[in-house]
Chains A and B, each alone.
Chain A
Amino acid sequence: MSAAPPSLHAGLDAPEEADLYKCVHCGFCLQACPTYVETGLETESPRGRIALMKAVNEGRIEITPGVVRHWDLCIQCRACEVACPSGVPYGRLIEAAMSQAESRRGQGVAARLLSDLSFKRILPNQRRLTLFAGLLRAYQRSGAQRIVRGSRLLPRRLAELEASLPRVQPRFFRPGGIAAPARGETRARVSLLSGCVMPLVHGPEMSAVVRVLARNGCEVETPKAQVCCGAINSHVGDLETARRLARRNIDAFNTDRIDAIVTASAGCGTRMKEYGHLLRNDPDYAERAEAFGRMVKDVHEVLASLPLDPPRAELRRTVTYQDSCHLANTQGVRSQPRELLKSIPGVRFVELPNASMCCGGGGSYTITERDMSLRVLDSKTAAAAATGADVLATANPGCLMQLEYGVRRAGLSMEVLYVTDLLDEAYRAEDG
């Protein structure tokens, strides 16, 4: 037997052979993949992306810009993992492949600088991020935005990007100490991840999360020293920054005196539940990271398991629900958000056909892969409109921002809300 050519992957973050060769290329993943369904191209399918990782591993092809292009186009929704009968851990394969791609990315100096600035300098630093959000808020509220939009001077792509920016809320949500004592008997003590972008663009919604938890007997604290969970960095293959952030969060959360670390963002929840794998080669943190991951719970998971004390007031709304990929596919949280919605008196719940298919959100994907993101989004918005619901509920900030933009793009009157927003509204109505 002649020696096989060496793998063209490198380093500890390379896709692991044991994971790669679990794929028997049966093709069962194809129809679960949003980019395959949109294009019909094997190159934009999970099976195709794994085939390229195998080809690199077998020394048959270099990690060329063409190869990276196909990996980049993956939204990382991980619906293929659910469809896969062989148990291929696609999430960590694509993460590893992206880390291989990071240093070989065929992008210009300007794009590189911009991405380094945003992903490595701003996002991991909450002070800088808050400053940036403040500037954006000023732009949106001072009238400058109106002038820019009215002038029609922005090139098409930039104008589209500008139009899709979330509207920054007047209030930021700031972590620090006990956010709310439990109402009534204390049923659980939880630490809330406030996150990076969410407290800035969805401050009031974060406050709603705290109120809903407290109303259900949870004492909610928000550790001040916490940082971004690292999901967005992982997504683009910058595992080094992701590990740095993970270590700081592990240090920031005191898990001894709480029942769970709660997150209201599915992407963050998935990242943190998988800190164990991320830090598996770090002798100081590997064990703690595993234990930390086991403490992490999504807010809908927590509320449903308490169980929820249903609101008494009625909300007369027809509500449909879009699964968040990182809630449904990776955390297996599907029924809980639906149960919570159905528990609100007066709510008529209608199922969204193919609700588990991604909306095209996916962290920075909406910016880096604009065209594909919008193709996937438009299919989703059309399906949501066809349900006749007046509220499209979801459970994750990335999905919410994406769906809001989709609804605006399609000119629909449908409201896009968090599941917890609706619960909060019902609870507040009951308080009169």
Chain B
Amino acid sequence: MSANAELIADLEAVVGGAYVLHEPEDLIVYEYDGSVDRGLPAAVVLPASTEEVSGVVRAARRHGAPIVPRGAGTGLSGGAIAHQGGVVAALTRMTRILEVDVDNRFAVVEPGVVNLDLTHAVERHGLYYAPDPSSQKACTIGGNVAENSGGPHCLAYGVTTNHVLGLEVVTADGSVHWLGGRTRESPGYDLRGVVVGSEGTLAIVTKAAVRLLRRPEAVKTLLAVFRELDDASAAVSGVIAAGIVPAAIEMMDELCIRAAEQSVHAGYPTGAGAVLLVEVDGLREAVDEEVDEVERVCLRYRPMEIRTATDPEERERLWAGRKGVLGALGRLAPNYYLVDGTIPRTRLVEVLSRIREISAETGLPIANLLHAGDGNLHPSVLFDERNPDEARTALEIGGRILELCLEVGGVLSGEHGIGLEKQEYFSLMFDDDDMESMAQLKPAFDTGDAFNPGKIFPAGASCVDVFQSAAVARAGAGAWV
């Protein structure tokens, strides 16, 4: 029996034969996620319970196989990609909502629960789950926890970590732990906070206790269309400067508008160079007042058109263009490389104009989609992966945009994680000491570097050193790192 066959037999002993995939045609469909990277796993296993996850981890560890946790595979930084082979642990069968506590406003869910399904399950109580990544119809809570996902409404409500109360996790020795709990405060080290955003490198989340929010009394959405991108950017800075904190401020440039128009026929006027979507929620009177104020600010920057909507269907129409835009870019080119970086929002005009220069210089179109309110940029480089030169250039452009973000005082990622995609840029932001102190955390959860190895930290020599020194310091020389 080959080593791989033994691994598969051991995994099958845990979850049953139907839920261990290893034929070529099965592995091929687990080699990708929503990002541009690929990697073929040796096996895919779909556990259905905490006990099975624990058994899977133990079995994979016995064979020295890396373990890559995976939700719906909608991630954009390669977090779910098995680039070193090993076992992909897909958590899409763990889809139960175990508990909804309406009075204390939290739910306990399994990691495979789809983000929007949770909101649907609790909306009859007037509650909802706030973090709303654009992929919320498909992405899972487990994946959101791993990537500390954001979304348009994170401007006012915060990202995933602000909504996770506690986590049940399986660590690399197969043991099960609760980090945090079901209340807002939890004494001791905030290990829950450590695992949120750890990109599957520390532990596998098997349950999450998450906050539920009460639906605001009123929501109003304003859509402002501008001829010039710069005017829209200036309007964003104007709104922030006026002291208004909307629930969301989203911006799309001309290329995005074109794609969205083809996809959902949002009805934007021709010649539109930028669209701003501003959503305000809260008490009815305050909402009306704030939207008026936002409108006054926008009017200072020569808008072509301003529309507002309060009823849910109208609002949904205004949002439709924005929510579907990413996939709609597929109408303009076979591939897009979506870059995720964050800048101080006062530098929007300057950074967007420099991105335009990069596009002109390289000849590849760049569509800009922004969570403008918190300065989170999503420039998407359009290319065709079947042309290796274009693919290479697209990746280079990504790097230049990230360097630009750092140069103006921003950070490497707003919400998509580092994963494989940005590990080479990690050292632009952190020096060796920083990285070493981060790397020292990993052996506390995962002594053998079994979970999602080779992610986040740079893959070059300097990084191996980081891991070596950290892991060897803990486990002693000669340990498998």
Taking Cβ atoms with an 8 Å cutoff, the residues of A that contact B are: 1, 4, 21-31, 40-43, 45, 47-48, 51-52, 55, 60-61, 64, 66-67, 70, 83-88
- How many angstroms between the C-alpha atoms of A12 and B166 in the bound complex? 56
Contacts of B139 in A (CB 8 A): 27
Residues A27 and B263 in contact in the complex (CB < 8 Å), given A1-B388, A43-B25, A60-B28 = no
> Does chain A have a CB within 8 A of B26?
yes
- How many angstroms between the C-alpha atoms of A88 and B329 in the bound complex? 12
* CB atoms of B386 and A27 under 8 A apart: no
- How many angstroms between the C-alpha atoms of A52 and B30 in the bound complex? 11
Which 4 residue pairs are nearest across A and B when measured between Cβ atoms?
Answer: A85-B327, A86-B330, A40-B92, A48-B29
Residues of B in contact, count (CB < 8 Å) = 45
> Does chain A have a CB within 8 A of B326?
yes
Instruction: Identify the stretch in B331-339, B342-350, B449-457 within 8 Å (CB) of chain A at 4 or more residues.
Output: B331-339
Most buried by A among B28, B92, B329: B28
Of A21, A30, A55, A64, the residue contacting B138 (CB under 8 A) is A30
Residue ID in chain A nearest B120 by CB atoms: A353
- How many angstroms between the C-alpha atoms of A255 and B307 in the bound complex? 45
Of A25, A45, A87, the residue contacting B34 (CB under 8 A) is A25
Residues A55 and B336 in contact in the complex (CB < 8 Å), given A40-B95, A85-B328, A86-B330 = no
* CB atoms of B137 and A83 under 8 A apart: yes
* CB atoms of B386 and A21 under 8 A apart: yes
Taking Cβ atoms with an 8 Å cutoff, the residues of B that contact A are: 21, 23-26, 28-34, 46, 72-74, 90, 92-93, 95, 112, 114, 116-117, 135, 137-139, 262-264, 324-331, 334-336, 384, 386, 388
Contacts of A47 in B (CB 8 A): 29
Residue ID in chain B nearest A58 by CB atoms: B386
* CB atoms of B335 and A42 under 8 A apart: no
Contacts of B29 in A (CB 8 A): 42-43, 45, 47-48, 51-52, 70
* CB atoms of A67 and B386 under 8 A apart: no
* CB atoms of A22 and B334 under 8 A apart: yes
Of A31, A64, A67, the residue contacting B137 (CB under 8 A) is A31
* CB atoms of A51 and B135 under 8 A apart: no
* CB atoms of A86 and B114 under 8 A apart: no
Of A4, A24, A60, A67, the residue contacting B330 (CB under 8 A) is A24
* CB atoms of A84 and B112 under 8 A apart: no
Most buried by A among B26, B30, B33, B114: B26
Contacts of A27 in B (CB 8 A): 33-34, 72-74, 135, 138-139
Residues A61 and B28 in contact in the complex (CB < 8 Å), given A23-B330, A28-B327, A85-B324 = yes
* CB atoms of A66 and B72 under 8 A apart: no
* CB atoms of A84 and B327 under 8 A apart: yes
Of B30, B72, B331, the residue contacting A30 (CB under 8 A) is B72
Contacts of B46 in A (CB 8 A): 40-41
Nearest Cβ on chain A to B81's Cβ, whole angstroms: 12
Of B21, B28, B325, B386, the residue contacting A52 (CB under 8 A) is B28
11 contacts between A and B (CB under 8 A): A21-B386, A25-B33, A41-B92, A42-B90, A51-B29, A51-B31, A52-B25, A66-B25, A84-B327, A87-B331, A88-B330
* CB atoms of A26 and B23 under 8 A apart: no
Nearest Cβ on chain A to B188's Cβ, whole angstroms: 35
Residue ID in chain A nearest B331 by CB atoms: A87
* CB atoms of A24 and B114 under 8 A apart: no
- How many angstroms between the C-alpha atoms of A330 and B353 in the bound complex? 41
Nearest Cβ on chain B to A31's Cβ, whole angstroms: 5
- How many angstroms between the C-alpha atoms of A324 and B114 in the bound complex? 25
- How many angstroms between the C-alpha atoms of A217 and B473 in the bound complex? 87
Of A31, A83, A85, the residue contacting B326 (CB under 8 A) is A85
Residues A40 and B112 in contact in the complex (CB < 8 Å), given A21-B386, A85-B263 = yes
* Extra inter-chain contacts (7) besides given A26-B74, A27-B74, A87-B331, CB under 8 Å: A24-B334, A40-B46, A40-B90, A43-B25, A85-B264, A86-B331, A87-B328
Nearest Cβ on chain A to B355's Cβ, whole angstroms: 21
Residue ID in chain A nearest B29 by CB atoms: A48
- How many angstroms between the C-alpha atoms of A85 and B338 in the bound complex? 15
Residue ID in chain B nearest A83 by CB atoms: B137
- How many angstroms between the C-alpha atoms of A28 and B388 in the bound complex? 27
Of A1, A22, A25, A87, the residue contacting B32 (CB under 8 A) is A25
Most buried by A among B30, B117, B327, B386: B327
Residue ID in chain A nearest B139 by CB atoms: A27
- How many angstroms between the C-alpha atoms of A25 and B38 in the bound complex? 12
* CB atoms of B328 and A86 under 8 A apart: yes
Residues A40 and B93 in contact in the complex (CB < 8 Å), given A26-B326, A28-B137, A31-B137 = yes
Contacts of B386 in A (CB 8 A): 4, 21
- How many angstroms between the C-alpha atoms of A61 and B73 in the bound complex? 22
Contacts of B329 in A (CB 8 A): 24, 86
Nearest Cβ on chain A to B335's Cβ, whole angstroms: 6
Contacts of B326 in A (CB 8 A): 26, 85
Contacts of B32 in A (CB 8 A): 25, 51
Residue ID in chain A nearest B137 by CB atoms: A31
Contacts of B93 in A (CB 8 A): 40
Residue ID in chain A nearest B336 by CB atoms: A24
Nearest Cβ on chain B to A228's Cβ, whole angstroms: 33
* CB atoms of A26 and B34 under 8 A apart: yes
Residues A87 and B263 in contact in the complex (CB < 8 Å), given A41-B46, A43-B21, A60-B28 = yes
Of B92, B262, B327, the residue contacting A24 (CB under 8 A) is B327
Contacts of A23 in B (CB 8 A): 330
Nearest Cβ on chain A to B381's Cβ, whole angstroms: 13
- How many angstroms between the C-alpha atoms of A43 and B46 in the bound complex? 12
- How many angstroms between the C-alpha atoms of A48 and B32 in the bound complex? 10
Of B25, B114, B331, the residue contacting A31 (CB under 8 A) is B114
* CB atoms of B328 and A64 under 8 A apart: no
* CB atoms of A42 and B73 under 8 A apart: yes
Nearest Cβ on chain A to B334's Cβ, whole angstroms: 4
- How many angstroms between the C-alpha atoms of A23 and B334 in the bound complex? 7
Nearest Cβ on chain A to B263's Cβ, whole angstroms: 5
Nearest Cβ on chain B to A311's Cβ, whole angstroms: 29
- How many angstroms between the C-alpha atoms of A27 and B115 in the bound complex? 13
Contacts of B328 in A (CB 8 A): 85-87
Of B73, B117, B330, B334, the residue contacting A85 (CB under 8 A) is B330
Nearest Cβ on chain B to A402's Cβ, whole angstroms: 25
Nearest Cβ on chain B to A80's Cβ, whole angstroms: 11
Most buried by B among A21, A28, A48: A28
Most buried by A among B73, B117, B325, B335: B73
Nearest Cβ on chain A to B142's Cβ, whole angstroms: 12
* CB atoms of A66 and B34 under 8 A apart: no
Contacts of B26 in A (CB 8 A): 43, 66
Contacts of B25 in A (CB 8 A): 43, 52, 55, 61, 64, 66-67, 70
Nearest Cβ on chain A to B98's Cβ, whole angstroms: 17
* CB atoms of B138 and A85 under 8 A apart: no
- How many angstroms between the C-alpha atoms of A21 and B383 in the bound complex? 12
- How many angstroms between the C-alpha atoms of A4 and B387 in the bound complex? 11
Contacts of A87 in B (CB 8 A): 262-263, 328, 330-331
Contacts of A25 in B (CB 8 A): 32-34
* CB atoms of A24 and B138 under 8 A apart: no
Contacts of A4 in B (CB 8 A): 386
- How many angstroms between the C-alpha atoms of A72 and B384 in the bound complex? 30
Of A31, A55, A84, A85, the residue contacting B28 (CB under 8 A) is A55
Residue ID in chain B nearest A23 by CB atoms: B330
